[in-house]
Amino acid sequence: MRRLVAAAMMGGLSGAVLSGCWLNPGAVRTDVCVDWVSFETMQQRFDHAGAVVIGTPLKRDGETRSYGYQANVHEVAVEQVLKGGLGLGTVRVAARPVTCGKTYPAGDPLDDGSRKLMFLTDQNGEWFTMTPDQGTVQFPAGTPLPFKTG
């Protein structure tokens, strides 16, 4: 019986040590590593987005969280709504951060203030770019749409 109890205690101790919880029991990690979908065409981006707009980021307007990471929120002037229930005027959009590393390794895609196509998704009542890399596209005036809307 002693051997069984000793084996059970060793198993429990080994599990705690291997999980790393014993190193800092007060630390709680809430971030995750997201394996973002990669769209092969602009049509696929349009089809999968909750909303698609043409707009220009005006200024940063706070921060929010996405999968445990800080996401910059921007005030965006919406010029045209191509899909979704957004209206013209301004809307708050969070730039989806890259997870598992530096938040914006290539820079925040909404920081440059240029006119863009934005492929958005709703997360808990907030609008986010659909993915870190494929949520925005530079879209100068006069550029034809790279997808069909209807």
36-59 pLDDT per residue, tens: 889 999 999 999 999 999 999 999
Please indicate whether residue 63 or residue 12 has the higher confidence score (pLDDT).
63
- List pLDDT tens digits, range 126-136: 999 999 999 99
Give me the mean pLDDT over the 18-38 stretch.
Answer: 56
DSSP string, the chain: -HHHHHHHHHHHHHHHHHHTTTT-TT-------------SSHHHHHHH-SEEEEEEEEEEEEEEEETTEEEEEEEEEEEEEEESS--SEEEEEE-PPPSSS-S-TT--TTSS---EEEEEEEETTEEEESSTTTSEEE--TTPPPSS---
Give the residue extent of every domain in the chain.
Answer: 1-30, 42-138
Domain 42-138 in this protein, CATH class: mainly beta
